[in-house]
Amino acid sequence: MSKRSLVTNTPLKTPNRRLVPSIGARPRKPSSPGAESASTKLHIEKGLTAMFRYTAEILPYHDMPLEDAVRDLAEIGFTEVNLWSSASPLAHHVNPGDDPGKIRDVLDKYGMKPGGLTVYGKNQDEILERVQFAADLGIDTVIFDCEANYSDFVGSFLPPIVEAGAKAGVRIAVENHLTVPFSADFESGGNEDKRWDEGVDTFAQIKRLVRDIDDPYLGVCLAPPHMWVMQETISEVIAFLTERKRLYYYYIWDVDRAYRHGLDGLNFGPGEKQLPSPDGTLDHRYLLTELKRAGYEGAASLKCHGTHGWSMEKIGREIRRSDAYIRDAYEALKK
Each residue of 177-228: pLDDT tens digit?
887 666 666 566 656 666 667 889 999 999 999 999 999 999 999 999 999 9
- Indicate the pairing of strand 247-252 with strand 141-145: unpaired
Taken in order of first residue, the domains within the chain and their CATH numbers are 52-334 (3.20.20.150)
Give the predicted TM-score (pTM) of the model. Answer: 0.84
**Residue among 226, 187, 219 at smallest CA distance from 298:** 219
Three-class SS of residue 175?
strand
Burial of 46 (0-12, 13-18, 19+ CB in 10 A): exposed
pLDDT at residue 10 tops 50 = no
- Write down the pLDDT at residue 49: 61
Alpha-carbon distance of 191 to 26, in angstroms, equals 56
Q: Looking at this protein, which amino acid is placed at residue 208?
A: R
CB of 164 within 8 A of CB of 127? no
Output the CA torsion 291→77→306→204 (10° steps).
Answer: -10
pLDDT at residue 101 tops 70 = yes
- Write down the pLDDT at residue 9: 39
List, for residues 222-256, the tens digit of each pLDDT value.
Answer: 999 999 999 999 999 999 999 999 999 999 999 99
- Indicate the pairing of strand 171-175 with strand 299-302: unpaired
In DSSP terms, 218 is beta-bridged to 172
Neighbours of 272 (CB within 10 A): 19
Q: Looking at this protein, which amino acid is placed at residue 318?
A: E
Please provide the DSSP assignment of 177-212 as one string. --SSPP-TTGGG---GGG--S--S-SHHHHHHHHHH
**Residue among 240, 245, 212, 213 at smallest CA distance from 227:** 240
Three-class SS of residue 113?
strand
Alpha-carbon distance of 68 to 58, in angstroms, equals 10
**Residue among 41, 51, 47 at smallest CA distance from 335:** 51
